[in-house]
Amino acid sequence: MKRNLAALAAVLLVGCSGSGASGTSDDTGEFNDADLEFVQGMIPHHEQAIQMADMVLRDEVTVSTADLAAEIRAAQAPEIADMRALLAEWGEEEDPHAMHEMDDHSMHGMMTDDDFNSLDAATGVDFERMWL
């Protein structure tokens, strides 16, 4: 169930990108602590989605799963670049420990090292079920 939610979250995040702006935002380039925390946390979140998508390449999976992995990878990589560009624009450095500084030391949808090890050890149908 947790893995299904993680995959769903990754797919939903793909839909969160776009060029639409809300009526309350401005283009001043100003940012606040919440903006910085969000961007710092989403970079490793997106990187993990790419890492998971890359795992599909090493195993035989259905075409639909391979297509989903390709879509996730294609969407997340440019978003990471956009977030890094925002950090540069704001004069901020990327914090590689941003996810570890959260109050509960985790983010919903993030896999643990044990989760990754289990997924990495799985093959075939077991791998695909875990991945999805």
Please check whether residue 20 lies inside any domain of the structure: no
**Structural domain of 69:** 31-131
Please check whether residue 15 lies inside any domain of the structure: no
| Residuewise pLDDT in 10s, the chain (132 residues) | 455 545 544 544 555 554 444 444 555 568 899 999 999 999 999 999 999 999 998 878 999 999 999 999 999 999 999 999 999 999 999 987 776 554 444 566 789 999 999 999 999 999 999 999
Please check whether residue 64 lies inside any domain of the structure: yes
Please check whether residue 21 lies inside any domain of the structure: no
Please check whether residue 5 lies inside any domain of the structure: no
Please check whether residue 12 lies inside any domain of the structure: no
- Which CATH number fits the domain that encloses residue 39? 1.20.1260.10
Please check whether residue 53 lies inside any domain of the structure: yes
Residue 7 has what pLDDT?
A: 52
**Are residues 6 and 111 in contact, defined by beta-carbon separation less than 8 angstroms?**
yes
Q: How many distinct structural domains can be found in the chain?
A: 1
| This prediction's pTM | 0.69
C-alpha 99: how far from its chain's center?
12
Residue 107 has what pLDDT?
A: 63
Q: Report in angstroms the alpha-carbon separations of 40 from 20, 58, 101, 128.
A: 22, 29, 10, 30
Q: What number of other Cβ atoms are within 10 A of residue 67's Cβ?
A: 12
Please check whether residue 92 lies inside any domain of the structure: yes
